[in-house]
Amino acid sequence: MLLEVVLIFLSTAILLVIYFRWNYGTLEKLGIPVVETHFLLGSQSDFHKIIGHERDYEWFETHGEIYGVYNGRQPEIHIVDPEIVRQILITDFSKFVNRSFDLGTKASSVLCEIMDFIKDDKWRTVRATLSPMFTTAKLKRLNMDMIGATDNILNLLMNDVASAPNKILQDYNIYGDLFAIVLDATARCTLNIKIQNPRSPDNDFAKAVLELTPQKSFFMATVLNIFPELEE
Ligand SMILES: *[C@@H]1O[C@H](CO)[C@@H](O)[C@H](O)[C@H]1NC(C)=O
């Protein structure tokens, strides 16, 4: 009996190790430098402790313009060469369908229709239709909209500081203001409307956006990163 329990335990452990390490070696075979991996958890087992883009920059400095990373079990190639990025995103875009993240089955059907999440030929069609809309002139206008939304919140923030005791803000919630900036910039860029009071959680646009996004706990996000199949 004891022997059987030990055997079952051991074989489960071995199977899990094989599952976690299944893709190791894929990137190495391509002959590109690969970021050192954890025994089980891919290149980045501490991503709850670090700032993603700073880590990316360190990797770029150590490994160069093209390097491999295991994101959990998922092999990824990171590219920093602007010419190759241009080829992937513009010249040969139709060969690079499917973004690397999925919403899962619980997401709202409206959200599933946006470009980040549609797949294959549907993505190609939408992408080819949208491309001509993003002319340099249009992008400049969107940029102005984003700057406008940012300035708006920055001005409110400066007023808050000016009227705070000793000009020091207590308990300032930066996430609230970042959300307000993104919200207002989105409304300006997509619908050409300004949100009256972007800081208030009661405005209809904020409510609509929050309704669209599935709330996932941080722990679940980590688990799903390793076992994407669970999302179904
Ligand atoms: C894109 O994703 C869909 C759905 O997950 C899948 O069926 C298809 O094979 C993927 N296409 C490519 C080129 O990986």
Contact assessment for residue 124 and residue 95, using Cβ atoms and an 8 Å cutoff: no
pLDDT of residue 150: 96
Looking at residue 111, the DSSP 8-state letter turns out to be G
232 touches ligand 1 (CB under 6 Å):
no
pTM: 0.64
3 state SS for 171-192 = CCCHHHHHHHHHHHHHHHHHHC
Query: Which residue has the CA at smallest separation from atom 3 of ligand 1?
Result: 119
- State the CB neighbour count (10 A cutoff) for residue 217: 8
Please give the backbone phi and psi of residue 77, each rounded to the nearest 5 degrees, phi first.
-110, 120
Q: State the Rg of the chain over Cα.
A: 23
What confidence tens digit (pLDDT) does each residue in 34-81 have? 888 887 777 877 767 778 788 889 999 999 999 999 888 889 999 999
Concatenating the DSSP letter of every residue in 54-107 gives HHHHHHHHHH-SEEEEEETTEEEEEE--HHHHHIIIIITGGG--S-S----TTS
Q: Which atom of ligand 1 is nearest to the CA of 97?
A: 13
Q: State pLDDT tens for residues 8-29.
A: 999 999 898 888 888 888 888 9
CA pair distance 133, 135, nearest whole angstrom = 6
Index of the ligand 1 atom closest to the CA of residue 98: 1
The pair of three-digit structure tokens given for residue 204, joined into one six-digit string: 């209809």
Closest ligand 1 atom number to CA of residue 102: 5
Q: Which of 119, 123, 232 to mutate to test the pocket of ligand 1 (most atoms within 8 A of CB)?
A: 119
pLDDT for 94-121, tens place per residue?
Answer: 899 988 777 777 777 777 888 888 889 9
Query: Does ligand 1 have an atom closer than 6 angstroms to the CB of 120?
Result: yes
